[in-house]
Structure 1
Amino acid sequence: MRLANYGLYRYRLPYARPVRWSDVVEEAAEFLLLRITCAQGLAGVAEMTIKPTWTGASLRSLVASLEDVFLPLLKKLDLCDPAAVRARLEGIPENHAAKALVDNAVWDLQAAARGGPLHRAWGGAPEVPLSFTVTRQTPARMVAEAVAMVERHGFKTLKIKGGQGLSTDVEAMHGLRHALGNGTRLYVDANGAYAPTEAGAYARAMADAGAEVVEDPCAFAPDATFTRLQAASPAPVLVDFYCASPRDMALYIAAGARAFSLKPGRLGLSDTRAMAALARASGCRTVVGMFGESALGTLAALQLSTTLPPGSLPAENSWFLAMTQQILVSPLVITQGSIRLPDAAGSAGLIDWNRLEPLT
């Protein structure tokens, strides 16, 4: 298969309320969609979340790197083997967002060529358990939102965004446990908010408050400091932002890491599949992490989640619920905390292209 044409589409999906991330407050989520079409008429699509502090790329810089570097390279390649395509992309340094976007679109094209979803080819089940991410608000509002989402969608696991100060994070965790009881699993993500000297005490406090894992309590690297942090924490330290490749993961495993977040929306399906295999071989827990995806990006991420072993945390990719609009023809439905993936040959045919146009 050879690339015949491509299209780039920017769109914004409003949030039901302002969302406070660790670095910014947003009224809407912004995305770039890539559609690639091969000479046989098959299409593959993928989206990238536009957040420079997450990806290192703005909309303009991402479009420029795609059109000036990666799409011209893609025209020279046989698209039948996504892993081989990704290996060629790695000949260009950095540009992680562009590589992930192209990688995921090529995998979606592979699904179209196979005539069925990726999870079927990979031996995964179509029913996927999910968690919901409760972002930073006052503890009372976090509790109210968590209770509402559990009651409405049946979530049995919640990811709690920390980083508001130790006392506030502890208050939120205690409030959630009191409101939800012991039937809901909780874990916390501090987004590297605390100093390395504070991280050990923070991890212990979160574990004491009921956190099953503690994600990115501080900025770290796969070194002796991380080894001491993990050894001192009662709960696994979930490694996310500071691990950006299979090579990084191998270094963290050597340093004693026990749990990893895998984000196809950030790193691409090729690398996260390799990371999932490495984690499995090393006995590490994994979760498919949230990257601010819309419903479209959720479908790509959950293909990977279907392949993770028992004991993995439920996938975090339910963030599309925070948005008031989507670009798919049919909504994704979460029942009893799980979603059933459509039996579709890729995602291009699931998009309402007429609905997308006014959002661009």
Structure 2
Amino acid sequence: MKISKVEAIPFAIPYRKPLRFASGEVTAAEHVLVRVHTDSGLVGIAEAPPRPFTYGETQASIRAVVDGIFAPQIIGLSPLEREVMHTRLNRTVGNPTAKSALDMAVWDLIGQSLGVSVTDLIGGYTDRMRVSHMVGFAPPGEMVAEAERIRGLYGITTFKVKVGRRPIELDIEVCKALRAGLGDGVELYIDGNRGWTPSESARALRAMEDLDLTFAEELCPADDVLGRRWLVSQSRIPIFADESVSRPGEVTRELLAGAANGVSIKTARTGFTYSQRVLHLCEGLGVEVVMGNQIDGQIGSLCSAAFGAAFELTSRRPAELSNFLDMSDDLLSEPLQITGGTLHVREGAGLAIEIDEDKLAHYRQDG
């Protein structure tokens, strides 16, 4: 079986309301559907969500690099030649979500060819993940009401609170309102998306010490090496790294430098192959992880769940798998379902992704 063709199809699906965070705002999921075809008829599928304010990629750049550079480099390879593929892809720097989508589509092919799920193929620990939901950047009352709605509808009891605004008192007030409104039975953690300085972060964390936050994620700029190390050294709340650990080498640097206590793993930026390497680094160093979300659609969320369920360490914590609830539609023939705060991995070979071709035709952006 050889790779015979690669497609990079741009599509855009509106969000029900704009998603806001410290590093940007999105009003539509302007993503790229990646399909890797083989001469045997099997097709591997994944999704690339560009985040220009984080990684510098755009929908147009992902299409260009996949069509113009990556596809010619991998056509003719067997899906099993993953190291050859990554060696060729890595000759081009950056482009993490484009590379990751190709990687996950290839793993989908391998699973299909063997008749096993990707989860079973790479680890097989469990078949489900508990779910964490993101709330943020709205008045306190609105955010409490939204969290209560999500808890009531889907049974989700873990919430990631987007912070990073100035003045910091706005976010402190929101977090206090969420704890008061939702009670002690709900788990809360915050994500600053690099929006605060180290001193602002320290002040905010001191003000929220009595809120029982599980951890705080990426509060400071990713390249503020000394400031991040200082914050971790004096914070009573664990600090998890996200944008600062987009590659295995950065994971090593941040952890050994004492600039993080934990790591967010995102399959959208490290695929399955490099997410495994990040995970194994964290296991070897005794570091906690969380499965993060790159504002993924249902395809990306399915990929995150497939990876997270495969390993004991990633399955310990609720994973960020529900951002697709904010989308007005999606491309899957059978939508994902969250019940009792849990998302099950799809049964079937590979990733078991089935695209609704009518929806794809409606939302695709290439005419």
Contact map agreement 2:11 2:30 (CA 8 A) in 1: yes
Contact map agreement 2:132 2:156 (CA 8 A) in 1: yes
Where 1:292 maps in the other structure, the secondary structure is: coil
**2:341 matched to 1:327?**
no
Gaps of 5+ in 2: none
Q: How far apart are residue 148 of structure 1 and its match? A: 0.6
- The answer to which of 115-124 and 287-296 deviates more is 115-124
Aligned to 2:137: 136
Aligned to 1:108: 108
Q: How far apart are residue 243 of structure 1 and its match? A: 1.3
**2:223 matched to 1:218?**
no
Aligned to 1:305: 308
Distance in 2 separating the partners of 1:208 and 1:31:
39
- Share of identical aligned residues, percent? 29
Where 1:325 maps in the other structure, the secondary structure is: coil
Q: How far apart are residue 42 of structure 1 and its match? A: 0.9
Contact map agreement 1:203 1:233 (CA 8 A) in 2: yes
Where 1:242 maps in the other structure, the secondary structure is: helix
Q: How far apart are residue 38 of structure 1 and its match? A: 0.8
Distance in 2 separating the partners of 1:120 and 1:10:
30
Distance in 2 separating the partners of 1:324 and 1:97:
23
State the one-letter code of the partner of 1:55.
Y
Aligned to 2:153: 152
Gaps of 5+ in 1: none
- The answer to which of 316-325 and 3-12 deviates more is 3-12
Question: 1:247 is matched with which residue: 239, 246, 249?
Answer: 249
State the one-letter code of the partner of 1:62.
I
Aligned to 2:57: 57
Aligned to 1:89: 89
Residues 215-247 of structure 1, C-alpha deviations (whole Å, 9 max, x = no match): 111114484443321121111111001111111
Contact map agreement 2:154 2:341 (CA 8 A) in 1: yes
**2:3 matched to 1:3?**
yes
TM-score, normalised to structure 2, is 0.93
Q: How far apart are residue 141 of structure 1 and its match? A: 1.1
Distance in 2 separating the partners of 1:225 and 1:18:
31
Aligned to 1:14: 14
CA 1:297–1:4 in 2, change beyond 3 Å: closer, same or farther?
Answer: same
Contact map agreement 1:10 1:33 (CA 8 A) in 2: yes
Residues 37-79 of structure 1, C-alpha deviations (whole Å, 9 max, x = no match): 1111111011111331133112222211111111110114332
**2:290 matched to 1:291?**
no
Aligned to 1:46: 46
CA 1:273–1:354 in 2, change beyond 3 Å: closer, same or farther?
Answer: same
- The answer to which of 301-310 and 226-235 deviates more is 301-310
Residues 164-212 of structure 1, C-alpha deviations (whole Å, 9 max, x = no match): 2321111111111111110010000011111123222223333433321
Q: How far apart are residue 349 of structure 1 and its match? A: 4.7
Distance in 2 separating the partners of 1:128 and 1:282:
24
Across the aligned residues of Structure 1 and Structure 2, the Cα RMSD in angstroms comes to: 1.8
Distance in 1 separating the partners of 2:353 and 2:256:
43
Aligned to 1:342: 346
Q: How far apart are residue 213 of structure 1 and its match? A: 0.4
Where 2:143 maps in the other structure, the secondary structure is: helix
Aligned to 2:170: 168
State the one-letter code of the partner of 2:58.
S
Q: How far apart are residue 277 of structure 1 and its match? A: 1.0
Question: 2:268 is matched with which residue: 257, 265, 268?
Answer: 265
TM-score, normalised to structure 1, is 0.94
Distance in 2 separating the partners of 1:220 and 1:241:
6
State the one-letter code of the partner of 2:307.
L
Q: How many residues align?
A: 360
Distance in 2 separating the partners of 1:260 and 1:148:
29
**2:29 matched to 1:26?**
no
State the one-letter code of the partner of 1:161.
K
State the one-letter code of the partner of 1:251.
R
CA 1:70–1:287 in 2, change beyond 3 Å: closer, same or farther?
Answer: same
Where 2:263 maps in the other structure, the secondary structure is: strand
Q: How far apart are residue 355 of structure 1 and its match? A: 2.0
Distance in 1 separating the partners of 2:255 and 2:45:
33
Residues 237-264 of structure 1, C-alpha deviations (whole Å, 9 max, x = no match): 1100111111111111111222110011
Distance in 1 separating the partners of 2:341 and 2:58:
34
Where 2:320 maps in the other structure, the secondary structure is: coil
Contact map agreement 1:264 1:301 (CA 8 A) in 2: yes
- The answer to which of 274-283 and 300-309 deviates more is 300-309
State the one-letter code of the partner of 1:280.
E
Where 1:62 maps in the other structure, the secondary structure is: helix
